[in-house]
A and B are shown apart, each in its own frame.
Chain A
Amino acid sequence: METLITTKTAIQISDLNLFFDTKQALKNINLEIPEKKVTALIGPSGCGKSTLLRTLNRMHDLTPDVRITGKVMVGTTDIFDHHTNVHLLRKKVGMVFQKPNPFPKSIYENIEYGLKINGFPKHKIKDIVEESLRKSYLFDEVKDKLNEPANRLSGGQQQRLCIARTIAINPEIILMDEPCSALDPISTAKIEELILELKKDYTVVIVTHNMQQALRVSENTAFMYLGELIEYDETSVIFQNPAQELTKNYIGGHFG
């Protein structure tokens, strides 16, 4: 538990409940996510891990019939507070999705877009685009075709472009919703390598179905089951010596 205590907290989730209409998807979640580390959310399909992730940048705002109780603090911001500007929150808490979703624009424009709407000064945009492409290990592959449509890139490249697009606007936290589940093993390895690099500058929260991936990239792991947070600890503890029987069974591949 040492690492959990000694580092600063990036996200503090307290007594979080979430209902879709009458169905409760998250049950009394309490979770502290440390700064500049990778935290993995694992659990069987439908356990609420993606739902929890999407709560953190308020992506549920547009879903009808969602009701949330409890509190989530990102830094010193209460994200459900009426005064909280959701657009600024999402600039601070970026998100990478399961399926790469580059806009049907050029590679350059894909990154430029977030910078434009967030009011980055025009003369800096070109440099930031290049820098974020370098940071996501994509620059060398695309430097000669920045004006080509992003859809022509391979799936793995598209996902790295989406990561570049996210880090370009300088977030503090990056949420990743199964970012490799649509990718081949080689692209997956590149993304994982990138995640390990990203945690130097950003807090990363990653939802994954792939337990090996959680083991490879994360410091801390939260195991969820049926909307509840069953266990949260250092990744090595979760995988080698979990406290809960449920966790042990899931890690051991007995269900899920």
Chain B
Amino acid sequence: MKALLHITRQENKGPFLVLLACTLIVCLFLFSILFAIFSKGLAVVSFDFITQSPTNGMTQGGILPAIVGTLLLTLITAVLSLPFGIACAIYLNEYAKNNRFTQLIRAAIRNLAGVPSIIFGLFGLALFVQLFQLGTSLLSASLTLGLLSLPYLITTTEEALKTVPQSMREGALALGATQFETIRDIVLPQAVPGIATGVILSLSRAAGETAPILFTGVAFFITDLPTDLSGEFMALPYHLYMLSTQHQSIEAVRPLAYGTASVLIILVFLLNLTAIVIRNRYRTK
């Protein structure tokens, strides 16, 4: 009997090893991408590279207009989409009753998140550029990216609101607070770290998009920095696409393409890092 017990019930190393292997493969891909880009790109990234405009038919010089373009684009996208996204999440989580209408809204948001980004690009072209006569501009592109970000913004904000315990709302209401006061004074302050994290992550995703800005405002080559909302602009993802596939002397600009990719990745990492810092800061509080 004793021997039998020893044989039949042993912890098998198999599952552990398979799971570990899968995890390592995932990491392997990430690190090989990073290595491929940074090993060739970091050499190009210098102070001049990020502070100068492209020169000599983009075979020399830096990528300043693209960096500024992407930063502005992300910023304006945030300004345009945050109020709607957060308001919508508050409505859904705090006010909406769970009925057919709300289910329809939720289904719409879920499906919006599944729409391919190129379709957002074409939709932006039809709606903002043509119908609203905004032209191919920073504003049209920001509006399009804003639409793309909305479902993520709404979902992450709603998750953040859900983490605030119901007992907090009840505590405020029991003191005579209105529902609006409860949300403003008690719920939102507690949800801020979660909302901030979600906002930054959806923006960092938007910053790397090419398809939605392709038809709505991004330009091949502009030496001037964008000065107003109605002009076209350069952006890192499109600049990279262009340097790697559309340039007349692709071999000559290859290092610049790697440099651009490095800058874009670093930019997105910095955004994500900000999100992590905010989250940890509030968690330890």
Contact = CB atoms under 8 A, between A and B. Distances in A.
Contacts, number: 62
A133 to B, nearest CB: 16
Contacts of A62: 173, 179
B78 to A, nearest CB: 26
Contacts of B171: 97, 101-103, 162, 165
A7 B125 CA distance: 76
A89 to B, nearest CB: 8
A100 B77 CA distance: 41
Interface string A168-185: 010000000000000000
Interface stretch (B7-15, B63-71, B162-170, B238-246): B162-170
20 contacts: A57-B174, A62-B179, A64-B98, A88-B176, A90-B173, A90-B174, A95-B170, A102-B171, A103-B172, A104-B168, A104-B189, A104-B190, A113-B177, A113-B185, A117-B175, A117-B181, A118-B176, A165-B171, A166-B174, A169-B175
A80 B67 CA distance: 61
B190 A90 contact: no
B176 to A, nearest CB: 4
A113 to B, nearest CB: 7
Contacts of B165: 101
Interface string A55-84: 001010010100000000000000000000
Nearest to A119: B176
Contacts of A59: 170, 173-174
A165 B236 CA distance: 54
B176 A103 contact: no
A64 B171 CA distance: 19
A143 interface: no
State which size class the interface on B falls in.
Answer: 20 to 34
B178 interface: yes
A102 B174 CA distance: 12
A225 B177 CA distance: 33
State which size class the interface on A falls in.
Answer: 20 to 34
Interface string A91-128: 10011010101111000000001100110000000000
Contact of A101 (B167, B176, B178): B167
Contacts of A94: 174-175
A87 interface: yes
A113 B172 contact: yes
B176 A90 contact: yes
A246 B35 CA distance: 76
A153 to B, nearest CB: 15
A87 B167 contact: no
Given A97-B167, A114-B176, 4 more contacts: A62-B179, A88-B176, A97-B170, A118-B175
B174 A95 contact: yes
Contacts of B110: none
Contacts of A113: 172, 175, 177, 185
A104 B167 CA distance: 12
Given A64-B97, A117-B181, A91 B176 contact: yes
A169 B175 CA distance: 8
B186 interface: yes
Interface string B200-231: 00000000000000000000000000000000
A162 B174 CA distance: 11
B95 to A, nearest CB: 10
Contacts of A169: 175-176
A63 to B, nearest CB: 11
A135 to B, nearest CB: 16
A30 B60 CA distance: 88
Contacts of A166: 174-175
A101 B168 CA distance: 6
Nearest to B189: A104
Nearest to B186: A103
Interface string A144-174: 0000000000000000001001100100000
A166 B174 CA distance: 8
Contacts of B177: 87, 113-114, 117
B98 to A, nearest CB: 7
